[in-house]
A and B are shown apart, each in its own frame.
Chain A
Amino acid sequence: MPLAKVKIKISDFNFYYGQVKVIKGVSVEMLAKNVTSIIGPSGCGKSTLLRCFNRMNDLIPGARAEGRAEIEGVDILGPQVDVVELRKRVGMVFQKPNPFPKSIFDNVAYGLRVNDITDRLIIEKRVEQSLRSAALWDEVKDRLKDNALNLSGGQQQRLCVARALAVEPEILLMDEPASALDPIATARIEELIVELKKHYTIVIVTHNMQQAARISDHTAFLMQGELVEYGKTSDIFTKPRKKLTEDYITGRFG
């Protein structure tokens, strides 16, 4: 097996909301075409860390990052970075499904249209591809004109995945994508993630440890903004090096 490529790398990374430091000196290397999960008790900074990779935290007044963060060796924090360009490369699926109140088709086409792709044929092809990749095509192919808000929660979330895929990102960030879904919908999202891994680098935040164990290749365990342990998922869950990790994954707290 060829040596896996490092896709995302952060080192000595700090993050502040105003004066409050919520990410403290985290260093991690995430591999391309891998699923990396971030676990930890709620409020430990998982979402914050995830949202640094597509600079979504820029929207929050007073938020500030320190240290280095790179994608394929290129800095993504500096003022010279084109965040719009970055967000095309780094897609995101949010915790709560957030389809736009438009048709299913227009939802998936949204990212293409804002990126100035106007050719109808190209858009149609890409919409179909994305919906297929998100395992939603068969369910919606006959009602692409329906309002996306009429879909079930699980379908909405897969639509959001399709919408993100349509832009052809390299990395897909997912913030507890299944937490608002029932077990069957959750299982479908998990299957989907494993399938998507072939083509995309996936970083997923989850508070569900079984989920992390099932679908991820590497796991980062975060607590109070500090990286406690990072490694192969199988190692983290079977022979954690730190006592804290062991306590957490065996459910002694959190």
Chain B
Amino acid sequence: MKIKQLKEVLGFLALRLCMVLVMAILVVVFWDIVTKGGGAVSWELLTQPPKDGMTKGGIFPAIVGTLLVTLMTALLAVPLGMGCAMYLNEYALDCKFTRFIRMSIRNLSGVPSIVYGLFGVALFVEACNFGTSILSAGCTLGLMTLPLTITASEEALKAVPRSYREGALALGATKWQSIRTNVLPYAVSGMLTGTILGLSRAAGETAPILFTGAAFFLPDLPGSLLSQFMALPYHLYILSTQHHDTALVRPLAYGTALVLLILIFIMNLFAIILRSRLRQMKKE
């Protein structure tokens, strides 16, 4: 009896330790970046292009570049992902073939991002002739995000009770009417939540944009979808490993990291707000 209790206490302690460890790591990382990067964040950093071999100035083009490429990613991943999820969940028959498709989608989300990067070069940069550009990079990131978007959207659709669909059909609604008016409204915030989380991951990726459009240094803002662009994660990578004087630009690198983090944090916050609104709606 005693031993059983001891075991339980120890087990509980071990679990608690895991949690504390994870939290501690997060806090340390965040603290490190905020303390070292906080000083570098200034109006100049946010509004000026890099100057003097990236030792001075700001990261404005990289902020704009990341926003633009994320927007491009969203344009591809949101409609396509939601469409796929709707097809899989509402229309496709549950057969071996669709189960195979589902499994493939799940597996695709485990493919390393550098592989997507190489694939993007082959497909968008070369085969589609988009060149290294916002378009190519956005499409590559979009492809990378799709598995997550589809899976999350499908879960959101599954969460809508069957009785909403049946109720609508029994009133003489067509299948599409029942989906549009009685399923999507209740699934859409869940779908968006998953999508935004996927997009925020894409915004922080370096590997997929490395060969598909991100530029080392480009003080002017991109002129079109076919221009190259600067991006926060890539800029950070350069400042911390490729720069001729990495020690000198350390504060700038931390500032960039902080800006990227805040950007992603804002996106996640958006997702959290959406989710809580969804919960409220369900309770009503």
What is the interface of chain A, defined by CB distance below 8 A to chain B? 54, 56, 59, 61, 84-85, 87-88, 91-92, 94, 96, 98, 100-101, 110-111, 113-115, 147, 149-150, 160, 163-164, 167
Contacts and interface: CB of A to CB of B under 8 A. Distances in A.
A149 B164 CA distance: 13
A91 B166 contact: no
B111 to A, nearest CB: 32
Given A61-B94, A147-B284, A149-B284, A98 B164 contact: yes
B172 to A, nearest CB: 4
Interface in B156-199: 161, 163-164, 166-174, 177-178, 181-182, 186
B172 A56 contact: no
Q: Specify which of B166, B167, B178, B186 lies most central, judged by the most chain A CB atoms within 10 Å of its CB.
A: B167
Contacts of B186: 101
B172 A100 contact: no
A91 B170 contact: yes
Which 8 pairs from chain A and chain B are nearest by CB?
A: A111-B171, A88-B172, A98-B163, A114-B173, A92-B170, A87-B172, A114-B177, A98-B167
B171 A61 contact: no
Given A56-B169, A98-B166, 19 more contacts: A61-B93, A85-B172, A87-B171, A88-B172, A91-B170, A91-B171, A94-B166, A100-B164, A100-B182, A101-B186, A101-B284, A110-B173, A111-B171, A113-B181, A150-B284, A160-B167, A163-B167, A163-B171, A164-B171
Contacts of B172: 84-85, 87-88, 111, 114-115, 167
B281 interface: yes
A110 B171 contact: yes
A148 B11 CA distance: 47
B168 A114 contact: yes
Contact of A84 (B93, B161, B163, B173): B173
Contacts of B178: 114
The A interface, classified by DSSP as helix, strand, loop or mixed, is: helix
A85 B173 CA distance: 9
B257 to A, nearest CB: 43
Nearest to A55: B169
Given A101-B186, A114-B181, A87 B169 contact: yes
Contacts of A164: 170-171
Contacts of A149: 284
A27 to B, nearest CB: 25
The winner among B94, B172, B174, B182 for most chain A CB atoms within 10 A is: B172
Contact of B163 (A61, A87, A94, A115): A94
Residue from A87, A115, A160, A164 with most neighbouring chain B CB atoms (10 Å): A87
B171 A167 contact: yes
B177 A54 contact: no
Nearest to B94: A61
A175 B171 CA distance: 15
B181 to A, nearest CB: 7
A59 B94 contact: no
Nearest to A150: B284
A100 B163 CA distance: 9
Contacts of B166: 56, 59, 94, 98
Contacts of A85: 172
Nearest to A110: B171
A165 to B, nearest CB: 11
Residue picked from A54, A114, A115, most chain B C-beta under 10 Å = A114
23 contacts: A56-B170, A84-B172, A84-B173, A85-B172, A87-B172, A88-B172, A91-B171, A94-B166, A94-B170, A98-B161, A98-B164, A98-B166, A100-B167, A100-B168, A101-B281, A110-B168, A111-B173, A114-B171, A114-B174, A115-B172, A160-B167, A164-B170, A164-B171
Contacts of A100: 164, 167-168, 182
A163 B281 CA distance: 22
Nearest to B173: A114
